[in-house]
């Protein structure tokens, strides 16, 4: 390895920009080559009774792993198998009901060419993604997707750079086209990502995080204001609900309301809660998404939200801190 020479910041920035332009151009050129073969690949996968098995070695193997993961998370059951391991037993993972997707820029990867005939003999269908439509792998495939690039972004035109970017983009195009064809929606995505932020936003219901029972601040209609203040202090939600004898919500009184009364110089001792409560507070139902509660709070610039059930009967309450703790916000 030759000793590095001093380079200027401008040279480094210039090289980075050139790499990005080369790779962006490689991806842009793919769009013009999307044809009926791409549709055939999609239809083959949509008709697959098994799973999509994605394989490749070296840098193509890393891309294959990512494509398999993207397919699996967007409604197409898929997994990665290493071609070298496949030839030593892991090929047993592949069945006649599967679609095998092989990635190789040259289309001549020995490890893939060793297992592909066996895969086809088992009855699995083969999609090849290569940079050479005349390669052995492309000729063996039921469907070939052309991922050829004019040159690598590497100045030596050796290190897989633009070619792997093109393969990755083509894999993403395949996954998204399949997602759309399946009618895969946000809720489906959330079910496959329950631990992620989107999963929490789409799966968490108000009833999962609301406060209820003894932790719910409430006073009966007609209560003294001082009793309502004590309830606010005890339950530490910055508000209390006012409930009628029938359990229906009558209103809300918040610590902000209390501050405004003090600023007005009102005598708190003689007041009843019915005289100072807000009679039409914002509410939400327990089965609503917690994300909807966040939207209402942000829209109305409030920190608490009451939860009601049938006939406006009080069921619970939410504080913005509850949503923060649940990582919905």
In terms of Cα–Cα distance, which of 280, 291, 287, 277 is closest to 309? Answer: 287
Radius of gyration over alpha carbons of the chain, in Å? 31
**Does the pLDDT at position 88 exceed 70?**
yes
Say how far apart CA 169 and CA 163 lie, in whole Å: 10
Q: What average pLDDT does range 9-25 have in this prediction?
A: 94
Say how far apart CA 86 and CA 98 lie, in whole Å: 15
Q: What average pLDDT does range 24-31 have in this prediction?
A: 94
How crowded is residue 263: how many other Cβ atoms within 10 Å of its Cβ?
8
**What tokens were used for 225?**
């204001």
**Does the pLDDT at position 134 exceed 70?**
yes
206-325: CATH topology:
CBS-domain (3.10.580)
pLDDT at 196: 58
pLDDT at 1: 46
Q: What average pLDDT does range 222-232 have in this prediction?
A: 94
| pLDDT single digits (tens) 145-170 | 999 999 999 888 888 899 999 999 99
How many residues would you count in the chain?
A: 329
**Does the pLDDT at position 195 exceed 80?**
no
* 221-236 residues labelled b (16+ CB within 10 A) or e (exposed): bebebeebbebbeebe
Alpha helices in 192-289 (DSSP H): 197-203, 206-209, 225-235, 255-263, 273-276
What SS3 class is residue 311? Answer: helix
Q: What average pLDDT does range 174-182 have in this prediction?
A: 92
In terms of Cα–Cα distance, which of 180, 167, 177 is closest to 30? Answer: 167
In terms of Cα–Cα distance, which of 106, 107, 53, 108 is closest to 82? Answer: 53
How crowded is residue 186: how many other Cβ atoms within 10 Å of its Cβ?
10
**What tokens were used for 81?**
């198998």
pLDDT at 183: 84
In terms of Cα–Cα distance, which of 217, 195, 214 is closest to 204? Answer: 195
**Does the pLDDT at position 80 exceed 70?**
yes
Q: What average pLDDT does range 77-82 have in this prediction?
A: 94
The domains of the chain are located at 9-184, 206-325
| pLDDT single digits (tens) 234-286 | 999 999 999 999 989 999 999 999 999 999 988 888 899 999 999 989 999 99
Across all residues in the chain, what is the average pLDDT? 90
Q: What's the start-to-end Cα distance of the chain, in Å?
A: 51
* 120-138 residues labelled b (16+ CB within 10 A) or e (exposed): eeeebbbbbbbbbbebbbb
9-184: CATH topology:
Rossmann fold (3.40.50)
């Amino acid at each position: 390895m030759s000793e590095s020479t001093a380079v200027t910041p401008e040279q480094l920035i210039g090289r980075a920009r050139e790499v990005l332009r080369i790779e962006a151009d490689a991806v842009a050129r793919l769009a013009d080559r999307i044809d009926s073969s791409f549709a055939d690949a999609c239809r083959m996968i949509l008709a697959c009774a098994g799973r999509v098995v994605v394989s490749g070695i070296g840098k193509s193997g890393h891309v294959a792993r990512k494509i398999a993961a993207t397919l699996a998370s967007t409604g197409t059951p898929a997994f990665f198998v290493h071609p070298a391991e496949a030839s030593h037993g892991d090929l047993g993972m592949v069945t006649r009901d599967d679609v095998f997707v092989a990635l190789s820029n040259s289309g001549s990867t020995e490890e893939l060419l060793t297992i592909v005939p066996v895969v086809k003999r088992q009855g699995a269908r083969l999609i090849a993604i290569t940079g050479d439509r005349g390669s052995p792998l492309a000729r063996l495939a039921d469907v070939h997707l052309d991922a050829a690039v004019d040159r690598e972004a590497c100045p030596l035109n050796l290190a897989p750079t633009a070619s792997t970017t093109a393969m990755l983009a083509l894999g993403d195009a395949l996954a998204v086209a399949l997602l759309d064809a399946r009618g895969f929606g946000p809720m489906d995505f959330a079910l496959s990502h329950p631990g992620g932020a989107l999963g929490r936003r789409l799966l968490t219901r108000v009833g999962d995080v609301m406060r209820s029972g003894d932790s719910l601040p409430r006073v009966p209609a007609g209560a003294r204001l001082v009793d309502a203040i004590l309830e606010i202090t005890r339950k530490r939600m910055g508000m209390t609900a006012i409930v009628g004898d029938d359990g229906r919500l009558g209103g809300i009184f918040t610590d902000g309301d209390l501050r405004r009364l003090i600023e007005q110089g009102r005598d708190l001792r003689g007041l009843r809660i019915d005289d100072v409560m807000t009679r039409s507070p914002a509410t939400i139902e327990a089965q609503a998404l917690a994300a909807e509660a966040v939207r209402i709070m942000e829209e109305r610039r409030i920190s608490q939200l009451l939860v009601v059930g049938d006939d406006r009967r009080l069921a619970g309450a939410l504080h913005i801190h509850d949503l923060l703790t649940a990582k919905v916000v």
